[in-house]
Amino acid sequence: MKANLEAIARAAGVSKMTVSRVLRGGTGFSDETRDKVLSEAARLGYVPNRLAAAFGADQAGTLVGMCVPRLTSGLFGHVLDGVDRALSRLGYQLMIGANNHSAEEEEAWVRQVISWRPAGLILSGRNHTPGTVDLLRRAALPVVELWDLTTSPIDMSVGFSHVDCGAEMARHLLGRGRRRAGYVGALARSDVMGAARLEGFRDMLARMGYPLVDAEVLHDAPGFYAGYCGMETLLARGKPLDVVYFHNDEMAIGGMAYCQSRGLRVPEDIGIAGWGGMEAASILPRRLTTTQVPTTGIGKAAAEALVARLKGEAGQEVTVIPTRLIAGETG
């Protein structure tokens, strides 16, 4: 027989209401009664209905919705881990969706998830459709926009500036004597955060007097093979380059593999720089020049900011999470 509150009440010799209060962590009963109820619940194999708890009329909802660009993103996997661990510790459950880098798909997800009456929402990025913003304001839910920092958030923002990441890498590479830079990216016309890094990189190069020589931005998702093919296409055009900045570390490693296949030495013949600080970048024969992003920390900070708002605590509207440029040996 499936264990339920009534079965536990009969076994423990108490009322169903008492069982309910004990399992919810309530008060108004003795330690002996609590121990008896918990013992019988364990013996009968009782599994609490988390959905009912999330929407219980006698308590606040505990579901938190989070929408990410791609479920296959390695970096966002760590962000999700940070969010989930923090929410679980604070008594909330995470409900995940993906928008595939589409503001319209995000709006459809928000419209759907609001019908579940979540306690709050966490969204990736700061670019949303007017419909999404209107939905969120009418729902009056706590909202955290993470990853791409904005100083004028819908509610709260936790993250860093992608434009600044690109600009910082440009300054670093110029400081290393690089003068003819190229760029290889992915998700053309859909990944606004990758485009923001390119914008910062391009603008800083131009400001310092060494404009970007060439760029290849693929429509494919970023990955090792995309980096390999992008590097091949970029170099095939024959423009003189002494360094290439990549959309992320996976693509940079793919670009290095192409260079190796053609006998080009990194960094002697051409420099390589990535972004993201993925683990594989730190164990290459020569450590990759990149930007390290504290992914788990961003997720944890976003979850804690949301829960603090749910508890009525005063907090910051904008939380800056610093990134760190890793000089490496490839740039």
* Level-2 CATH architecture, domain 162-292: 3-Layer(aba) Sandwich (3.40)
Give, in order, the Cα–Cα distances in Å from 199 to each of 55, 76, 192, 249: 44, 22, 10, 18
Q: Are strands 63-68 and 271-273 parallel, antiparallel or unpaired?
A: unpaired
pLDDT at residue 5, rounded to an integer: 84
Q: Which fold has domain 5-48?
A: 434 Repressor (Amino-terminal Domain) (1.10.260)
Measured from the Cβ of residue 210, the count of other Cβ atoms closer than 10 Å reads: 16
Can you tell me the distance from the alpha carbon of 93 to that of 85, in angstroms, rounded to the nearest whole number? 10
Contacts of 282-287 with CB under 8 Å at 24 or more apart are: 284/253, 284/256, 284/330, 286/328, 286/329, 286/330, 287/326, 287/328, 287/329, 287/330
Side by side, which strands form the sheet with 271-273? Answer: 214-217, 181-185, 243-246, 271-273
How is 111-146 classified by DSSP, letter by letter?
HHHHTT--SEEEEESS---HHHHHHHHHHT--EEEE
pLDDT in tens for each of the 331 residues of the chain?
A: 457 888 999 999 998 888 888 887 777 789 999 999 999 888 888 876 655 555 554 445 789 999 999 888 888 889 999 999 999 888 899 999 999 999 999 999 999 998 888 999 999 999 999 999 999 988 889 999 999 999 999 999 999 999 999 999 999 999 999 999 999 999 988 889 999 999 999 999 999 999 999 999 999 999 999 999 999 999 999 999 999 999 999 999 999 999 999 999 999 999 999 999 998 888 899 999 999 999 999 999 999 999 999 888 878 999 999 999 999 999 9
pTM of the model: 0.81
Pair 227, 274: CB distance under 8 Å: no
Three-class SS of residue 33?
A: helix
CB proximity list for 75: less than 8 A, separation 6 or greater: 248, 276, 278, 293, 295
DSSP assigned state of 181 = E
The distance between the two most distant Cα atoms of the chain, rounded to a whole number of Å, is 84
Q: Name the CA radius of gyration of the chain, rounded.
A: 25
Sign of CA dihedral 110, 116, 121, 122: negative
The amino acid occupying position 234 is L
Q: Which fold has domain 63-160+295-323?
A: Rossmann fold (3.40.50)
Q: Which residues of 181-194 are buried (b: 16+ CB within 10 A; e: fewer)?
A: bbbbbbbeeebbbb
User: Which two structure tokens, joined as six digits, stand for 66?
Assistant: 């989070």
Q: What residues does CATH 3.40.50.2300 cover in the chain?
A: 63-160+295-323, 162-292
pLDDT at residue 138, rounded to an integer: 87
Q: What residues does CATH 1.10.260.40 cover in the chain?
A: 5-48
Three-class SS of residue 291?
A: strand
HSE-up (13 A, CA, CB side) for residue 250: 12
User: Which two structure tokens, joined as six digits, stand for 283?
Assistant: 């164990």
Contacts of 24-27 with CB under 8 Å at 24 or more apart are: 24/53, 24/59
HSE-up (13 A, CA, CB side) for residue 115: 5
Give, in order, the Cα–Cα distances in Å from 275 to each of 152, 162, 169, 242, 251: 25, 10, 9, 18, 9
Can you tell me the distance from the alpha carbon of 323 to that of 304, in angstroms, rounded to the nearest whole number? 19
